[in-house]
Structure formats: structure tokens, C-alpha cells
Amino acid sequence: MTTRVLEPPFLICNPKAYLGSADTLKLATLTDELAGEFGIDVLFTAQHVDLRMVSEHTKNLTITAQHMDPIVKGRGMGFILPESLVEAGAKAVVLNHAEHQLTLDVLDATMRRAREVGLATVVCADSDAQCRAIATMGPAMMICEPTANIGTGKMDAGDYVARTTKIVKEVNPEILVIQAAGVTDGQDVANALAQGADSSGGTSGIVQNPDWRQVLTEMFTAIAEHKKNA
């Protein structure tokens, strides 16, 4: 990675499968508007079926696929072709999420395909051992998440964020580390960045908040504060 697809500190907004197409577009355009106002980068994921639509209606977001397969043009019924993600406007792809884990062999092959087509890789890991192993494979970004905290609205009470960020950076300081498990407000985002993370944000902490504009503004504000003080 000589050029980064986005600059830290940045926000991750990862609605997973929580939103249908219309709601995804609403969240994306709102996030895009705020990203422009704050001048802060955003990694925004969407269901495959919505990627092109989100890409066409936004300008400040790094459009990111939630998964892809290591296939090449040909067979592969029902699998996700890397080339088509690029044609749809995606710049990055999340791999090996706790809810969608890959064998090491498939992860390795998919990371190679990402490099071939020019997608930045965002690879997920849980334990210290997994974080270290993945870091040696040279992803552009990593999402470190203690599986037990995903979707709980509570961050790890111990030193998970600081410890795993350090593990990754010691292996390869170029890797941008995203820490977002259990994050629900601006204070959580500030905490994650204060412990060394390059990015925070999340899924349920955003999409399940009744006021998207409010929670996103809080999170962008926390990132802007961190940036100013850096």
C-alpha cells in the first residue's frame, strides 16, 4: 500500500444487513453530507446489491463491499466477482468478518485478488493470535473485534483496544486499525482513538440509534477533536 484509500482518523459506518436499500441510501447520503462538512473520511459498507446505488449518490465515502469471493470471471454461481465490485464503484472490501469467516487459504487467495483488481482490504480478527497472524498478511486495514462484544453496545472493559492495536502496529505500522465493537456514541469513538485506533464507528450503535444525524454528528465531532489534538 503506497497510497491510502482514506486518511486516519476516519469513521467506519457498517450497516451490515440491518437496512434495506431505501434506508441504506438514506444513511449513506446523510453520512456523505456530514463527511463533507467535517472533512473526515468514511469507510461505508453496503449490501452488494446496493453498492452501485450508494456509489452513484455520494461523493465523500469510501464505498466498501462486505465480502467478496476469490473467483475469476467464469463459473462461480452466486459468488461475488471482484471485478464487478470495482465496476460498481467499490474501493475496499471487508474480509473474514466474525459473521463470515474464511479459511486461511481462501483469505490469502481473496487478498491476492483484491490486489489484482485494486481494492483495499479490510480484514477482521478477534484474539491476539488472530490479530498477529492477519497482520503478517499485509492488509490495508484491520477490524479488531472481540467477538463477545459485537452488537452488545458495550466496549471491551479491559485493554483489548490498546493491546490489539499495538500487536498489529508492531507487526506492520502501515496497517490502519479499526476498533468499533460495542461503540455507541461519540465518547466511545473518542476512547477508541485515544487508545491508538485509526478509526471507530460501527453498526448497531449507529443504525439502531433513533437519531442517525445526532449519533453520526457526535462521532464525527469526536474524530475531529482527536484530529485537532493529534
Kindly state whether residue 62 participates in binding a second copy, applying the rule CB under 8 A: no
In the complex with a second copy, the residue whose CB is nearer, 100 or 154, is: 100
Residue found by looking up cell 479491559 in the block? 158
Which of 155, 163, 224, 147 is CA-nearest to residue 185?
155
What's phi and psi for 42, nearest 5 deg? -140, 130
Query: Residue from 42, 85, 122, 223 that binds a second copy (CB under 8 A)?
Result: 85
Kindly state whether residue 83 participates in binding a second copy, applying the rule CB under 8 A: yes
Measured CA to CA, the distance from residue 78 to residue 75 in angstroms comes to 9
Site string for a second copy, 22-41 (x = CB under 8 A): x-x-----------------
Kindly state whether residue 173 participates in binding a second copy, applying the rule CB under 8 A: no
Query: Residue from 2, 3, 59, 77 that binds a second copy (CB under 8 A)?
Result: 77
Are the C-beta atoms of residues 197 and 226 closer than 8 Å to each other?
no
Kindly state whether residue 91 participates in binding a second copy, applying the rule CB under 8 A: no
Which set of grid coordinates corresponds to residue 141? 486495514
DSSP 209: S
The set of residues, in sequence order, having a beta carbon less than 8 Å from that of 161 and lying 6+ positions away, is 144, 155, 179, 191, 192, 195, 196, 197
Kindly state whether residue 134 participates in binding a second copy, applying the rule CB under 8 A: yes
In the complex with a second copy, the residue whose CB is nearer, 93 or 161, is: 93
DSSP lists the bridge partners of residue 46 as: 65
145 catalytic per annotation: yes
Range in contact with a second copy (rule: CB under 8 A) among 18-26, 157-165, 180-188, 210-218: 18-26
Kindly state whether residue 49 participates in binding a second copy, applying the rule CB under 8 A: yes
97 catalytic per annotation: yes
Radius of gyration, alpha carbons of the chain: 16
* Marked catalytic residue, from 33, 48, 57, 97: 97
Kindly state whether residue 92 participates in binding a second copy, applying the rule CB under 8 A: no
Query: Residue from 37, 57, 104, 148 that binds a second copy (CB under 8 A)?
Result: 104
The set of residues, in sequence order, having a beta carbon less than 8 Å from that of 134 and lying 6+ positions away, is 96, 123, 124, 125, 142
* Marked catalytic residue, from 48, 83, 87, 145: 145
Report in angstroms how near the CB of residue 98 gets to a second copy at its nearest. 7
Exposed, middle or buried by CB within 10 Å (0-12, 13-18, 19+), for 104? exposed
Which residues are the active-site residues?
97, 145
Residues that bind a second copy (CB under 8 A): 14, 16-22, 24, 47-53, 65-67, 71, 73-81, 83-85, 87-88, 94, 96-108, 111, 125-127, 129-130, 132-134, 136-138, 147, 150-151
